[in-house]
């Protein structure tokens, strides 16, 4: 699939959903703030439900493994850090001028999950061909029921149905993407199943997947982690899925003629971190994560010639605004 930067015509209801989404979410937050912690019934819930239904149709029609062509910017976890998402777009570029592939974990942890996922869905609806969204492990009900998303919806909208509509959309999201036939992307990591099968098996995963079973190929794509101290696949201390060693990365890359595997899922101090002799890189795009870490964020840029570079977003601390470093772009990888 070729990434197309020219937007197509939209139906009236799609344009209206995109235009009104953020205003209705902002309205719900304003009403909630005025009434402290009291539950608020808000007509904006119906707007969000309509947005989800329209985006769900778009996602359902996409393959489970997206195939796209560079140039593209690859973005890791956002976790409800809405202001940092806006900063990211302001620095790297707004759609449709820039092509994006997001690797999941849009919600939970941060305070602005509904705003974040609503903006991403609205942009997806307007520019479906060059704004691509993969699923993360937090886009599953067993996780986002616990880590803030459900509570935020019920507190602000008093509408549990809205929560279930989001889960229906999440269950349709693609799990992997292949960039220019050379770079494989997912949220979590590799699976033992990929040792005995080529990556075409990623196209055969059947939807909907509400909560992926453990073990399964889908759960590994959402949850697994690299570990430099193991060989093969081992039990994951998270209690879900597995860890994999550098040998697994080398085997999967050689078998499928891949130059790089890109994943998210873990906080890394500089926003990116290489593994397995630069055959795998972890991208994390939420700076100052949860207000508890001093990590930077990174966005991976892949040029048409498959030259990889990183756009770095330094954490912004209000009390140290004058000494905070400006974002910089560092080319740290060679032509693939």
Of the candidates 161, 151, 165, the residue with the CA atom closest to the CA atom of residue 210: 165
Cβ atoms of 248 and 233 within 8 Å: the answer is yes
Rounded-to-integer distance, Cα 60 and Cα 58, Å: 6
Cβ atoms of 336 and 260 within 8 Å: the answer is yes
**How far are the Cα atoms of 8, 46, 57, 167, 244 from residue 156, in angstroms, in the given order?**
34, 13, 26, 18, 41
Please give the average per-residue pLDDT across 192-214, as a whole number: 96
Taking phi over 0 as left and psi of -120 to 50 as alpha, with beta for the rest, 275 belongs to: beta
Catalytic-residue membership of 138: yes
Whether pLDDT at 300 is above 80: yes
Q: How many helices (H) and strands (E) does the chain have?
A: 9, 15
SS3 state at 22: helix
Of the candidates 79, 102, 108, 104, the residue with the CA atom closest to the CA atom of residue 89: 102
Tell me if 43 is assigned to some domain: yes
Whether pLDDT at 115 is above 80: yes
Please give the average per-residue pLDDT across 305-310, as a whole number: 96
Tell me if 335 is assigned to some domain: no
Whether pLDDT at 8 is above 60: no
Whether pLDDT at 197 is above 80: yes
pLDDT of amino acid 315 = 87
Of the candidates 253, 167, 240, 178, the residue with the CA atom closest to the CA atom of residue 210: 167
DSSP codes joined into one string, 198-220: -GGGGGGPPSP-SS--SSSHHHH
pLDDT of amino acid 16 = 52
Tell me if 5 is assigned to some domain: no
Q: In what order do the strands lie in the sheet with 183-186?
A: 65-68, 176-179, 183-186, 260-263, 280-283, 272-275
**How far are the Cα atoms of 105, 124, 125, 226 from residue 119, in angstroms, in the given order?**
14, 8, 10, 31
Tell me if 2 is assigned to some domain: no
The model's pTM is 0.86
Of the chain, the percentage scoring pLDDT greater than 70 comes to 81
Tell me if 158 is assigned to some domain: yes
Contacts of 222 (CB under 8 A, 6+ apart): 104, 135, 136, 137, 140, 175, 186, 187, 188, 212, 241
CATH code at 237?
3.60.21.10
Domain tally, the chain: 1
Whether pLDDT at 285 is above 50: yes
Mean pLDDT of the chain: 87
Cβ atoms of 110 and 85 within 8 Å: the answer is no
Which 8-state DSSP code applies to residue 311? E
Q: Which domain holds residue 173?
A: 12-330
pLDDT in tens, 121-153: 999 999 999 999 999 999 999 999 999 999 999
Of the candidates 284, 287, 288, 281, the residue with the CA atom closest to the CA atom of residue 302: 281
Which 8-state DSSP code applies to residue 8? P
Whether pLDDT at 94 is above 90: yes
Higher pLDDT, 34 or 227: 227
Of the chain, the percentage scoring pLDDT greater than 90 comes to 78
pLDDT of amino acid 275 = 98
Tell me if 7 is assigned to some domain: no
pLDDT of amino acid 89 = 97
Higher pLDDT, 240 or 43: 240
pLDDT of amino acid 287 = 96
SS3 state at 138: coil
Tell me if 1 is assigned to some domain: no
**How far are the Cα atoms of 24, 55, 72, 142, 151 from residue 167, in angstroms, in the given order?**
20, 12, 27, 10, 14
Tokens 């075409």, residue located: 200
Whether pLDDT at 334 is above 90: no
Catalytic residue among 30, 32, 41, 138: 138
Higher pLDDT, 3 or 165: 165
């Amino acid at each position: 699939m070729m990434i197309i930067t020219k937007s197509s015509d939209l139906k009236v209801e799609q344009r209206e959903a995109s235009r009104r989404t953020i205003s209705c979410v902002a309205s719900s937050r304003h009403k909630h703030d005025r009434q402290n912690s009291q539950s608020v019934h808000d007509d904006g819930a119906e707007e969000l439900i309509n947005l989800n239904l329209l985006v769900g149709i778009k996602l359902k029609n996409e393959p489970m493994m997206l195939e796209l062509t560079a140039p593209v910017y690859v973005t890791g976890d956002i976790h409800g850090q809405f202001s940092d998402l806006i900063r990211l777009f302001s620095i790297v570029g707004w759609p449709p001028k820039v092509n994006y592939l997001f690797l999941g974990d849009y919600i939970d942890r941060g305070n602005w999950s509904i705003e974040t996922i609503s903006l991403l869905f609205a942009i997806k609806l307007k520019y479906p061909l060059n704004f691509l969204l993969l699923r993360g492990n937090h886009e599953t009900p067993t996780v986002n029921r616990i880590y803030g998303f459900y509570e935020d919806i019920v507190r602000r909208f008093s509408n549990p149905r809205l929560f279930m509509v989001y889960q229906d959309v999440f269950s349709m999201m693609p799990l992997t993407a292949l960039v220019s036939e050379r770079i494989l992307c997912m949220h979590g990591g590799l699976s033992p199943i990929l040792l005995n099968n080529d990556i075409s098996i990623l196209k055969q995963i059947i939807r909907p997947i509400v909560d992926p079973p453990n073990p399964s190929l889908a759960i590994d794509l959402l949850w697994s982690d690299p570990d430099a101290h193991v060989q093969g696949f081992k039990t994951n201390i998270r209690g879900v899925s597995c860890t994999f060693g550098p040998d697994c990365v080398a085997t999967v890359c050689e078998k499928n003629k891949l130059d790089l595997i890109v994943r998210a899922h873990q906080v890394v101090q500089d926003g990116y971190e290489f593994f397995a002799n630069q055959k795998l890189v972890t991208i994390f795009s939420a700076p100052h994560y949860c207000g508890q870490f001093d990590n930077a964020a990174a966005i991976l840029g892949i040029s048409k010639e498959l030259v990889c570079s990183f756009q770095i977003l330094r954490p912004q601390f209000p009390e140290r605004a004058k000494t905070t470093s400006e974002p910089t772009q560092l080319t740290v990888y060679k032509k693939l």
